[in-house]
Amino acid sequence: MILTKDILQTTLRVSQALWGETTTSLDLCTDTLATVQLLGLDQSAFLKRSIRALVERSERESEKTNSDFLNQSLYRIHPLERALLVLLYEFQWTGDLLTETFEISADELDTLIWKSKLDLLTHRSGGKLFSIPTPRGITPQCPEWNGSRPWTARYLDQRLSRADQIFVHGHVDGCTNCRSLLEQSRTLLTEAKTTYEASMPEKPTDKNISEMMKILGQGETYALGKPLPAAEAFRQMVRQRKDVQLVIIGLIGWMILRLTQ
Minimal distance in Å, beta carbon 179 to Zn ion? 8
Which stretch, 109-117, 134-142, 196-204, 233-241, contacts Zn ion (CB under 5 A)? 134-142
Which stretch, 60-68, 137-145, 189-197, 202-210, contacts Zn ion (CB under 5 A)? 137-145
Up-side HSE of residue 83: CA atoms within 13 Å toward CB? 27
Residue among 175 and 216 whose Cβ is closer to Zn ion: 175
Does position 142 bind Zn ion by CB under 5 A? yes
Which stretch, 91-99, 175-183, 222-230, 249-257, contacts Zn ion (CB under 5 A)? 175-183
> In terms of residues, how long is the chain?
261
Contact 49, 36 (CB under 8 A): yes
Contact 102, 109 (CB under 8 A): yes
Which stretch, 4-12, 62-70, 97-105, 177-185, contacts Zn ion (CB under 5 A)? 177-185
Q: Which of 74, 175, 189, 216 binds Zn ion (CB under 5 A)?
A: 175
DSSP per-residue codes, 177-235: HHHHHHHHHHHHHHHHHHHHHHHSPPPPPHHHHHHHHHHHHTGGGEETTEE-HHHHHHH
Contact 117, 146 (CB under 8 A): no
Minimal distance in Å, beta carbon 198 to Zn ion? 34
How many residues belong to the site for Zn ion (CB under 5 A)?
Answer: 3
Minimal distance in Å, beta carbon 175 to Zn ion? 3
Contact 200, 16 (CB under 8 A): yes
Residues near Zn ion (CB under 5 A): 142, 175, 178
